[in-house]
Amino acid sequence: MFYSTVGKYTVSITTDPEEIAHKLARSNVVVHKHIESDRNRDDQAYIAIGVTDCGHAADLLFEGWYFPGPLSGFHPGVLIIPETATVFIGIGEDAYTYSMAPIDLIAKESAEAGFWYWSRYGNTVLMCAELELSAWSLDGKRKWTRFVEPPWHYSIESDVISLDIMGDAVLLSLETGENVKIDE
């Protein structure tokens, strides 16, 4: 079991299904998300993510089997925005956002070909996936998405994303995702 704290929220993560009953589950867990999977796949993995604002037992419990998994190079990611009480979870080919006050699913979106990671820049959260770069509001709603393909990377200066896809560079507005032209 791994624990981390962000603001008043504690995140608990395990890859062992046996730890759910003993450490994360409680009778009044508000949300339970079970991810269905083909149990015959070699690249699947189990994950349980619990989030609470008091103690170790989960108020939000997200658990189940997913793919693509670590054997294919894809690992789950969690980002919490304490000021909006929003939880971002990326796993396999899916991205979820939840409100913690009250606990509710805000959105479920795709993470094209496999989730990579979340990053926060001011009032914007970026989700990186194998074939996608997308921006989200701090309250968990997707603002825009853009197709990418490896190798790709980005950097940010002010509110402008410099996105390099296979050696071709483009400048994007962090807020809208639209192309930006910089006056020289």
Pick the more confident residue, 31 or 148: 148
Distance CA 63, CA 49 (A): 6
In whole angstroms, what is the distance from residue 124 CA to residue 99 CA?
Answer: 16
Q: Is 0.75 topped by the overall pTM?
A: yes
Under DSSP, the state recorded for 180 is -
pLDDT tens per residue, range 50-87:
999 987 778 898 988 888 999 999 999 999 999 999 99
The one-character DSSP state at 101 is T
Cβ atoms of 50 and 90 closer than 8 Å: no
The predicted-structure confidence for 108-154, as pLDDT tens digits, reads as follows 999 999 999 999 999 999 999 999 999 999 999 999 999 999 999 99
Beta strands in 15-72 (DSSP E): 31-35, 45-52, 60-66
